[in-house]
Structures are given as C-alpha cells and as structure tokens.
Amino acid sequence: MQTTRAVFRQFGGPEVIEWITDDLPAPGPGEVTIEHGAVGLNFIDTYHRRGIYPVDLPSGLGLEAAGRILAVGEGVDEYREGDRVATFGPLLGAYATRRNVGAAHLFRLPDTIDDRTAAAAILKACTAEFLIERCARVEAGQDVLVHAAAGGVGLLLCQWLKHIGARVIGTVSTEEKAAAARGAGADEIVLYSREDIAPRVRELTGGNGVRVTFDGIGRATWEASLDSTGRRGLLVNYGNADAPVEGVNLGILARKGSLYNTRPTLFDYYADPDERAAGAARVWDLIARDVLSVTIGQTYALADAAQAHRDLQDRKTTGSTVLIP
C-alpha cells in the first residue's frame, strides 16, 4: 500500500513543502492505518512549517484529519476495519493520503458527521470547548472579546459563547468577515481596518473592558488585548497567527488592572482519556443540535496545500479550510 505525503526539510515559507510517494508499512502494535477523506488546515500547521513551534527535521505536516480505518494493528481492540475516525495529533503527518496513527489518538465519528465536517471541526471545535468551558470558564452575561472572529476557531467561539449567554465582541478586517461573525453570534463588531480596537471595546463596555479576551493573533494584538480587558480580567493567548508575544514584563499585567494571562494548548486539556472523550462528545452533541455550524469557507486539493498556507497567512480565508486528498 502506498501513500503520498507532505514533508518539509527546512523551516520557511510554503515553498518548503514537498510531496513524496512511498510504501506505507503495516500498522504496528497499537496503531491503525487510516485512509484520509479530508484533512484540516490550521494556523498551527504554519507554526510548525515556519519553526515557531520547532520540530525535528525532516518532518511531516498537519494534525487534523478524518477518514476510514483500512487495517488494525496488534493490540487494538476498540476499532475495526471500516470504522470512521478523526484525529488532531499530537503527531504530525495529517497531510497524507494514508498514514498509520496510534489508536489512542483517535476519535470515533458519529454517522451524522461527514469527513469534511470532522476535518474542519475536530481540532478547532475542541479548542473552542476547552478555551470557553475549562480554561476561561466563561459565564452567561459576561463580555468577551474574540479576535479574528470570522476565522475557523473564531466562528466556533462566537457560536459557543452565544449559546451559553455571553455578550460577544468580535474583531474582523472586512465587512464580509463582519457579516460572517455576526451570523455566528457576535453581538458587536470592531472593524480593525477602520478603527482602533481597544477604544471601541471600552466604548462598547461602558469603559469597563471585557471579562475575557481570546487572542489567537499574538504580537499584533497584544497591546489591544491588554487595553481591552477589564480589571482582574483574563487574557487568553491561544495562538500566534501573526507572531509570538515575546519580551513581556509581567508588571504590565498589574499596570493594566491586575490582569490574568494564560497561554494554554489544546493537548494539555486533552491529555487525559476521559477528558478527550468528554470534550469530543460535547462537540459532537452541539453540532448535532445545530448549536455549532461548521463553516467550510474554502477547499483545496491536498496537493495545493502550499497555496492554502499562503491564503491563510494572508488572511484571505473565512471559516475553516479543508484539504481533499
């Protein structure tokens, strides 16, 4: 059995992505072989490719994918050939037509969730789940700021926050993205291409600032996030779409109102098997009940992953992006 997969041998731009076709070995103990029906594109893929999150080279690329099990290795009792599953890592290599994955890293897919929806949602929706419910513990009535509110995670954050009764303020760059964010539940929009974020957020909150800020951008929005978050509020930096926040004097948190700041990762909140199962079950339930609508804004052939990376980094995408093998 053969597979075509992406590799990169040096850190850099999308041009470092190469494609190779080789034989795929039989699954080892504890592994299964998956044929991917769809692969999810995420900003973390660009962090790995650029070396923001260093990995050993050469490396595979991608975390999020969905498909069907073709073969089961020794010791795997919970899955069988033909089962539909999804994964979001932690091992890289999702940019492939087929691959071997540890059974412990899989999520069983309900019949109501197709491969494209699963690949568009599993990493991003589980990110929204842990950020809102277990990291920030957002409550009804709280003001919450969501940067990049029309992105893949941003749209899911808006929907989830609205579902639990929070007041959502979203930042976007264009009117088109503003409409998408409003459609997902954002109560107020800050169009940062036309107005400064923090003064507008303060105006919208009666000068108080928000209780929680979700910032997946990083360096470009750090100051605005600090100035938008109210006294004793929580600033959650969960991504580096622009660049990492570096060289911070923690005293700034005191000067801005005794703020709390955290830099959580998905894998620390999905390390325990029971947490993984409960978090995924919550996601599938909200999708099944139409609380969460997964927006696939664009699809690319898997072989066009480099162009998908360019468009994602240039903020030309809306919602989730799916790569089709």
pTM of the complete model: 0.88
Give the model confidence (pLDDT) of 65-83 as tens digits.
999 999 999 999 999 999 9
pLDDT band at 5 (very low <50, low <70, confident <90, very high): very high
169 alpha-carbon distance from chain centroid: 19
| CATH class held by domain 2-121+273-324 | alpha beta
- pLDDT score recorded for residue 246: 87
Whether 242 shows a pLDDT value over 80: the answer reads: no
- pLDDT score recorded for residue 116: 96
CATH fold group of domain 140-263:
Rossmann fold (3.40.50)
User: Which residues make up the CATH 3.90.180.10 domain(s) of the chain?
Assistant: 2-121+273-324
What letter does residue 44 receive in the DSSP assignment? H
Query: Measured between alpha carbons, how far is 147 from 215 in angstroms, rounded to an integer?
Result: 5
Q: Which residues make beta-bridge pairs with 300? A: 323
Whether 32 shows a pLDDT value over 90: the answer reads: yes
173-204 burial, b if ≥16 CB within 10 A, otherwise e? eeeebbebbbebbbbbbbbbeeeebbebbbeb
Give the model confidence (pLDDT) of 287-307 as tens digits.
999 999 998 999 999 999 999
Contact 185, 165 (CB under 8 A): no
User: Which residues make up the CATH 3.40.50.720 domain(s) of the chain?
Assistant: 140-263
Quote the mean pLDDT of the chain. 95
Give the model confidence (pLDDT) of 9-21 as tens digits.
999 999 999 999 9
pLDDT band at 145 (very low <50, low <70, confident <90, very high): very high
- pLDDT score recorded for residue 240: 82
pLDDT band at 323 (very low <50, low <70, confident <90, very high): very high
Lowest mean pLDDT segment, chosen from 31-45, 174-188, 233-247: 233-247
Whether 35 shows a pLDDT value over 90: the answer reads: yes
DSSP for 174-241 reads SHHHHHHHHHTT-SEEEETTTS-HHHHHHHHTTTS-EEEEEE-SBGGGHHHHHHHEEEEEEEEE---S
pLDDT band at 178 (very low <50, low <70, confident <90, very high): very high
Instruction: Give phi and psi for 262, each to the nearest 5.
Output: -140, 150
Give the model confidence (pLDDT) of 97-123 as tens digits.
999 999 999 999 999 999 999 999 999
Report the amino acid identity of residue 292. Answer: L
Average pLDDT over residues 190-201: 96
The 10 Å Cβ neighbour count of residue 16 is 18
